[in-house]
Amino acid sequence: MPSEPGVALITGASRGIGRAIAVALARTGRHVIVNYRSRQDAAEETLAAVREHSTGELLELDVSNPEAVSAALDGVHARHECLEILVNNAGIRNDMLMIWMQQDDWRGTLQTNLDSFFHVTRPVLKQMLLKRRGRIVNITSAAGEVGSPGQVSYSAAKAGLIGATRSLAREVAKRKITVNAVAPGFIETDMLEGLPAQELRARIPLGRLGKPEEVAALVAFLCSEDAAYITGQVYAINGGLY
């Protein structure tokens, strides 16, 4: 990785953990591409926060749509010589017991949480391999490591992302590209909507929910030169939940 600031793409960056990561990377001087699917108002708020520290731009894109991703990233690569950082953060939660789950429920969750990793990472990786540098960080979940009732599809997608992280890291290490994953537990975002916050806190040894900025700080470290010898790892950030 060169010492000068590069370009970072964060998927699902309009709110929550994605927004915090975008701002954290902006603080390091990177040009930040803020991806969002539908909440333009929220994405513009993220971009404004990014521009308090560095430069940035918006990228409206459904990362579960391979054709749309391919066209959008062609445009990104035309504007920027090389994306040096990719954070795959986009995801949805669609909780239900498997006995009630329909095929569309299953596929929709996997498309957004797992297929998007392939759609976005593959074209970005081509440029990283040519430049012989890059940082890829995948945002998975505690559910992908320990499972959770009512989250069979979500847990399957996040567990798949962990396996993909470890395998890809071994494929590209010789090109000085690192690939790591961060597995948050219960973080104060709208992804927890509908869940009993008090009960969740009682399960966490530290006795509180995590903050998006705490996850973002770990991601920023993994994208730094200080983390050049770290790859293929999965970092839990869950307050001691397991």
Which residues does the annotation mark as catalytic? Answer: 154
The residue whose two tokens read 């392939």 is: 118
Helix (H, G, I), strand (E, B) or coil at 186: coil
- Tell which residue, 69, 158, 166, has the closest CA to residue 120: 69
Helix (H, G, I), strand (E, B) or coil at 145: helix
Helix (H, G, I), strand (E, B) or coil at 41: helix
d(CA 64, CA 141): 19
- Tell which residue, 124, 123, 132, 143, has the closest CA to residue 241: 143
d(CA 138, CA 181): 5
**Is residue 26 a contact partner of residue 50, using CB atoms and an 8 Å limit?**
yes
Return the amino acid letter for 117. Answer: F
- DSSP class of residue 113 equals I
**Is residue 92 a contact partner of residue 108, using CB atoms and an 8 Å limit?**
yes
Which residues, 6 or more positions from 38, have their beta carbon under 8 angstroms from its beta carbon? Answer: none
